A and B are shown apart, each in its own frame.
Chain A
Amino acid sequence: MQSLNCPSCGAALPVRDPGLPYSTCAYCQTLVRREAGKLESVGTVAALPADVSPIQIGTTIAREGMAATVVGRVRWGWSDGSWNEWFLRAADGRQLWLGEAMGMYMLTSEYSAVLEIPAIQNFAEGNPMARDCTVKAAGKWLTASDIKEAGCLGSEGDLPFPTLPGRTMTNVDFRNAAGDALSVQRDADGTTAWLGVWTDLAGLKPGNLRQIEGWTMPRALA
Chain B
Amino acid sequence: MTGARAVTCPSCGGSIEIRAAGYTVTLGCRYCGSLLDVANEDVRLITAYRRAAKNFAIAPGARGTLFDVEWEVIGALRRRSGSAIWQEFLLFNPYSGYRWLVASDGEWQFGTMLLDRPEDDGLAVSWRGRSFALEDDAEIETTTVIGEFYWRTARGDKVQGATFANGREQLSRETTADEVTWTQLIPITAEWVSEAFKVEQRHMPRPPRPDLTEGFRKAPGMAEDDLGKMFLVALASLGLILMAQVFLSGPRVCSDGRATIEVGAATSTHRIGTLEVRRPWQLVTIAVDSDSFTNRWVDLDYSLVNRRTQQSIDAYGIVEYYTGTDSDGPWSEGEHHAETLIARVPRGTYDVFVDAGSHGWPTDPPPGSIDPANPWGPGETVALWFRSCTGGFSWGMFWLMAALLFSVPGLILWWRHRD
Of B4, B23, B25, B39, chain A has the most CB atoms within 10 Å of the CB of B23
Contact mask for chain B residues 108-125; partner A; CB cutoff 8 A; 1 contact, 0 none? 000001011111000000
Q: Is the interface of A mostly helix, strand, loop or mixed?
A: loop
What are 11 residue pairs bridging A and B, where the CB atoms are less than 8 Å apart in the complex? A50-B2, A52-B20, A52-B94, A103-B96, A104-B115, A145-B179, A177-B119, A178-B116, A198-B115, A210-B1, A215-B70
The residue on B at minimum CB distance from A203 is B115
Contacts A102-B97, A103-B92 hold; do A49 and B21 have CB atoms under 8 A apart? Answer: yes
Check if B39 sits within 8 Å of A201, measured CB to CB. Answer: no
Distance from B213 Cβ to chain A, minimum over Cβ atoms (Å): 38
Binding-face segment, A9-17, A76-84, A87-95, A115-123: A76-84
The residue on B at minimum CB distance from A78 is B39
Interface residues of A in 177-222 (CB under 8 A from B): 177-179, 198-202, 209-210, 212-218, 221
Of B3, B40, B116, chain A has the most CB atoms within 10 Å of the CB of B3
Contacts of B94 in A (CB 8 A): 52-54, 212, 215
Is residue A146 contacting chain B, with contact meaning CB distance below 8 A?
yes
Distance from A91 Cβ to chain B, minimum over Cβ atoms (Å): 24
Check if A50 sits within 8 Å of B1, measured CB to CB. Answer: yes
Check if A177 sits within 8 Å of B118, measured CB to CB. Answer: yes
Is residue A64 contacting chain B, with contact meaning CB distance below 8 A?
no
Is residue A51 contacting chain B, with contact meaning CB distance below 8 A?
yes
Q: A52-B4, A177-B119 given. 17 additional CB < 8 A pairs? A: A49-B41, A51-B5, A51-B21, A52-B94, A80-B152, A81-B23, A102-B97, A104-B113, A198-B116, A201-B97, A212-B1, A212-B3, A212-B94, A214-B3, A214-B4, A216-B70, A217-B95
Chain A residue total in the interface (Cβ 8 A):
36
Contacts of A146 in B (CB 8 A): 179
Contacts A146-B179, A199-B115 hold; do A50 and B22 have CB atoms under 8 A apart? Answer: yes
Q: Lowest 5 CB-CB distances: which A-B pairs, in order?
A: A51-B22, A103-B97, A179-B116, A198-B115, A52-B94
CA of A221 to CA of B25, assembled, Å: 27
Distance from B24 Cβ to chain A, minimum over Cβ atoms (Å): 9
Contacts of A103 in B (CB 8 A): 23, 92, 96-98, 150
Contact mask for chain A residues 27-70; partner B; CB cutoff 8 A; 1 contact, 0 none? 00000000000000000000001111110000000000000000
Distance from B325 Cβ to chain A, minimum over Cβ atoms (Å): 88
A80 interface neighbour in B5, B20, B25, B98, Cβ under 8 Å: B25
Interface residues of A in 99-158 (CB under 8 A from B): 102-104, 145-146
Residues of A within 8 A of B (CB): 49-54, 77, 80-82, 84, 102-104, 145-146, 175-179, 198-202, 209-210, 212-218, 221
CA of A176 to CA of B118, assembled, Å: 10
Interface residues of B in 201-249 (CB under 8 A from A): none
Contacts of A84 in B (CB 8 A): 22
Contacts A49-B41, A214-B3 hold; do A209 and B95 have CB atoms under 8 A apart? Answer: yes
Contacts of A217 in B (CB 8 A): 95
Contact mask for chain B residues 66-89; partner A; CB cutoff 8 A; 1 contact, 0 none? 001110000000000000000000
The residue on A at minimum CB distance from B118 is A177
Check if A77 sits within 8 Å of B39, measured CB to CB. Answer: yes
Is residue B151 contacting chain A, with contact meaning CB distance below 8 A?
yes
A52 interface neighbour in B21, B115, B119, B152, Cβ under 8 Å: B21
Contacts of A201 in B (CB 8 A): 95-97
Check if A218 sits within 8 Å of B96, measured CB to CB. Answer: yes
Check if A102 sits within 8 Å of B23, measured CB to CB. Answer: yes
Check if B40 sits within 8 Å of A77, measured CB to CB. Answer: yes
CA of A17 to CA of B42, assembled, Å: 34
CA of A51 to CA of B39, assembled, Å: 12
CA of A77 to CA of B116, assembled, Å: 26
Distance from B399 Cβ to chain A, minimum over Cβ atoms (Å): 62
Check if B22 sits within 8 Å of A53, measured CB to CB. Answer: yes
CA of A218 to CA of B94, assembled, Å: 10
Contacts of A216 in B (CB 8 A): 70
Check if A52 sits within 8 Å of B23, measured CB to CB. Answer: yes
